[in-house]
Every structure is written in structure tokens, then in C-alpha cells.
């Protein structure tokens, strides 16, 4: 009997599952083993199958409460976590910081203790200060804390969904040459991708101006390049990052126009300098015409919209595993 398209995709995408998941929190990818990452990606593939059903819900987390606690603006991550929790039948509370007692001077720890007293099981947190989710995990160990971005430090679920997208498209991660292009210095996405990709056996090259590459990043096992043409050579995947002007306290390059001339990925540069089948990724939001040309963002090599879709599946897997999912 011929196998179905779904079963064929499962055979290609899903790594072999491992028993159990030993983590209560998801704060960084540097603390996850290869087996941990493979387990998350395996379960995400299963949850993505649900998207094709007429009723896209499972009773898996019925009775659990997930709180989205975002101190910074977000479109993709916050709504993705909300949708992921609802598809698992969890109750979801989106905490509005601007209208809460935080605006009256209440401490972060007291705010989270209040949320815990209301019956929260999982807190998904984004904060402008690096290390804030770690503080909560240390002080409130009976809650599960998911880091949805802390300053310039880490964004683990973005790293996971990027790896899941690569795995779907290339059927492997080990041995691939992945280029991360742009503002590496201020990017929590870059750090989480580097940690995860290196754990999974990929080769990673960071490309950008010297002022936007952190000193000593080579210690993370990556290659550093400051020339775009050279940096795109042999790339299987190009993950483009935007200039994070909201985090810059000084000028790191003369002008946006000059940055675009030197490091913007245009259709012509992609065609001439990269592999013909190189994947183009971007975590969003996109600044079209600056770090990425419109024809590239909307072109056949782009996986940007698929990354958004995959983000829901990956976050379903993370919520499921942190709440005690097994088989």
C-alpha cells in the first residue's frame, strides 16, 4: 500500500522521539541537549498535523492556565503563544502591563506572585532586561516560565521554530551551512539560533559590519565574516535580521542607506552570490528595502510565512512538554 503524503512528511521531518522531558522551564537553548531539541521538533511535527483538521483543537491542556506577560511589544510571538495554548484547550490570559498595578509601582516579583495565586500554570514572558525570566524561574520554581525574549539575550522558541522550518525544507540540520546576516549584536534571535544550530550539528557563519558583531562570538563556535559576497558563499540557509534601532544607544553605522548598500539582501545578490536553492529566513518584523528586498521576501526561496505557521506548532510542543506531556 502506498504511504500517504502525511506519513511521508512525518518520516522525513520527525527525529526519533526520546522518553521524557526533564525541564520545567524554557529559558535558553544552551541548556538543552540534542535529544531535548529533537523531542520538541518531533512533537511539533505531530501538532502541525492538527492544522489540517476541520477542528484544530486538542484537549491536551484542558484545565491548565497560560499567562502571556509581555513588557515589550509583540505581534508574532504573543499571538502565536495564545493560539498555541488555545489549540491545546488551555485557558489563556493576556496580561496588559500598561493597565496593571505595575504602572502603580508594583514589583515584577509581586505581580507574578499575584498571577500565580490566581492559578497560573505557565507564564510566557517577554522583558527588555536580560535575565528577567531566569529570576522568576529561580524565585518561583513551581511555575513553568517560558522566555519569549529577554533583552538582547535569548529567544528560544524562535530558534526552535527556525530549526523546525529548516528541517522541513532540508530534512536535516547537521552539516548545513547557516548564515545569520545583520544586527547580531542586539539580536536575541541570533544567540538562540547559534546555540540550537550548533547543538544540532550545523555550521554557523555570522555576517555584518564589525560594529554589529559581538566581540568574542567566535567562542560560540561560529565563523565571522564582514563581507556580504564572501559571507553568502556555500550558504544552505540565510537567516536575515533587522536593524534593532530601538536597542541602540549610539550610532553603529553612518546611515541606513549605507547599511543597505553593503548588507541588504537583494534579488540580484541572492541569485549571484548564494546557492540556487538557499533558504531565506527572517524572524520578523521585516524592514523591506533595508535588510531585505521585497522580491526576496516574497520570492520562492523565502520561508518567512512558513516560519510564522511553524511557530504555533513549536509553541504547542513546548507548552505540552512543560506541562508534563509524555507519549
Domains and CATH numbers, the chain: 20-155+308-322 (3.40.50.1370), 156-304 (3.40.50.1370)
The three cell numbers locating residue 143? 511555575
pLDDT in tens, 149-176: 999 999 999 999 999 999 999 999 999 9
- Contact, 222 vs 194, CB < 8 A? yes
Whether residue 2 is predicted with pLDDT greater than 70 in this model: the reply is no
The predicted structure's pLDDT at residue 95: 84
Averaged over 30-38, what is the pLDDT?
95
The predicted structure's pLDDT at residue 254: 65
Averaged over 20-27, what is the pLDDT?
89
What CA–CA distance (Å, rounded) separates 190 from 307? 15
pLDDT in tens, 40-97: 999 999 999 999 999 999 999 999 999 999 998 888 999 999 999 999 999 999 987 7
Whether residue 249 is predicted with pLDDT greater than 90 in this model: the reply is no
Instruction: Enter the pTM of the model.
Output: 0.90
Classify the C-alpha dihedral 79-83-84-89 as positive or negative: positive
The predicted structure's pLDDT at residue 18: 39
220: exposed, middle or buried (Cβ count in 10 Å: 0-12, 13-18, 19+): middle
Whether residue 182 is predicted with pLDDT greater than 60 in this model: the reply is yes
The predicted structure's pLDDT at residue 131: 94
**125 beta partners:** 69, 147
- Contact, 177 vs 234, CB < 8 A? yes
Cα-trace Rg, the chain: 20
What CA–CA distance (Å, rounded) separates 84 from 293? 31
Among 80, 1, 87, 17, smallest CA distance to 52 is for: 87
Higher pLDDT, 3 or 238: 238
pLDDT in tens, 85-132: 999 999 999 987 766 777 677 888 888 898 889 889 999 999 989 999
pLDDT in tens, 193-209: 999 999 999 999 999 99
The predicted structure's pLDDT at residue 251: 67
The predicted structure's pLDDT at residue 327: 43
Share of the chain above pLDDT 70, in %: 88
Amino acid at each position: 500500500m502506498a504511504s500517504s503524503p502525511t506519513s511521508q512528511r512525518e518520516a522525513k521531518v520527525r527525529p526519533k522521539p526520546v522518553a521524557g522531558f526533564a525541564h520545567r522551564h524554557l529559558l535558553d537553548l544552551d541548556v538543552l541537549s540534542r535529544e531535548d531539541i529533537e523531542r520538541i521538533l518531533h512533537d511539533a511535527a505531530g501538532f502541525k498535523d492538527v492544522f489540517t483538521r476541520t477542528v484544530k483543537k486538542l484537549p491536551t491542556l484542558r484545565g491548565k492556565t497560560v499567562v502571556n506577560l509581555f513588557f515589550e511589544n509583540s505581534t508574532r510571538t504573543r499571538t502565536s503563544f495564545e493560539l498555541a495554548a488555545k489549540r491545546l484547550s488551555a485557558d489563556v490570559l493576556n496580561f496588559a502591563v500598561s493597565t496593571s498595578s505595575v504602572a502603580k509601582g508594583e514589583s515584577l516579583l509581586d505581580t507574578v506572585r499575584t498571577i500565580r495565586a490566581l492559578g497560573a500554570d505557565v507564564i510566557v514572558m517577554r522583558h527588555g532586561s536580560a535575565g528577567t525570566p531566569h529570576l522568576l524561574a529561580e524565585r518561583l520554581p513551581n511555575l513553568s516560565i517560558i522566555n519569549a525574549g529577554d533583552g538582547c539575550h535569548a529567544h528560544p522558541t524562535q530558534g526552535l521554530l527556525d530549526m523546525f522550518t529548516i528541517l522541513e525544507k532540508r530534512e536535516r540540520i547537521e552539516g548545513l551551512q547557516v548564515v545569520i546576516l545583520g544586527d547580531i549584536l542586539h539580536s536575541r534571535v541570533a544567540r538562540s539560533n547559534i546555540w540550537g544550530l550548533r547543538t544540532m550539528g550545523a555550521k554557523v557563519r555570522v555576517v555584518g559590519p564589525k560594529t554589529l558583531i559581538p566581540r568574542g562570538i567566535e567562542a560560540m563556535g561560529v565563523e565571522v565574516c564582514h563581507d556580504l559576497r564572501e559571507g553568502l558563499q556555500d550558504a544552505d540557509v540565510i537567516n536575515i535580521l533587522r536593524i534593532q534601532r530601538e536597542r541602540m544607544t549610539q550610532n553603529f553605522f553612518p546611515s541606513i542607506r549605507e547599511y543597505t548598500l553593503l548588507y541588504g539582501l537583494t534579488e540580484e545578490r541572492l541569485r549571484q552570490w548564494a546557492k540556487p536553492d538557499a533558504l531565506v529566513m527572517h524572524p520578523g518584523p521585516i524592514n523591506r528595502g533595508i535588510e531585505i528586498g521585497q522580491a526576496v521576501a516574497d520570492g520562492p526561496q523565502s520561508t518567512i510565512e512558513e516560519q510564522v505557521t511553524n511557530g504555533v506548532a513549536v509553541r504547542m510542543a513546548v507548552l505540552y512538554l512543560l506541562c508534563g506531556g509524555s507519549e
